[in-house]
Structure 1
Amino acid sequence: MRVKCVICDTIQQLEDDLPLAKKLRNRPIHTYMCNSCSTRIADNTKRRLATGKFRFFRTSSKFDEEF
Structure 2
Amino acid sequence: MRVKCIICDKIETIEDSLPAAKKLRNRPIHTYMCDDCRMRITENTTKRVNTGQFFVYRSGKQKEWLP
Q: In which range does the TM-score fall when normalised by the shorter chain?
A: 0.7 to 0.9
DSSP-derived class of the 2:58 partner: coil
TM-score, normalization by structure 2: 0.85
TM-superposed deviation, 1:14: 0.8
Q: How many residues align?
A: 64
Residue by residue, what CA displacement relative to the aligned partner does 1:3-23 show, whole Å, maximum 9, x if unpaired?
000000000001111111010
TM-superposed deviation, 1:52: 1.0
The gaps in structure 1 that reach 5 residues or longer are none
Aligned equivalents of 2:6 and 2:31: distance in 1?
7
Aligned to 1:15: 15
Give identity over the alignment, percent: 58
| Two-structure CA RMSD over aligned residues (Å) | 1.6
Q: Could you say which structure has the higher helix fraction?
A: 1
Aligned to 2:55: 55
TM-score, normalization by structure 1: 0.85
DSSP-derived class of the 1:56 partner: strand
The gaps in structure 2 that reach 5 residues or longer are none
Q: Which amino acid aligns with 1:54?
A: F
Residue by residue, what CA displacement relative to the aligned partner does 1:4-60 show, whole Å, maximum 9, x if unpaired?
000000000011111110100000110000001001000000000111111112374
Q: Could you say which structure has the higher strand fraction?
A: 2
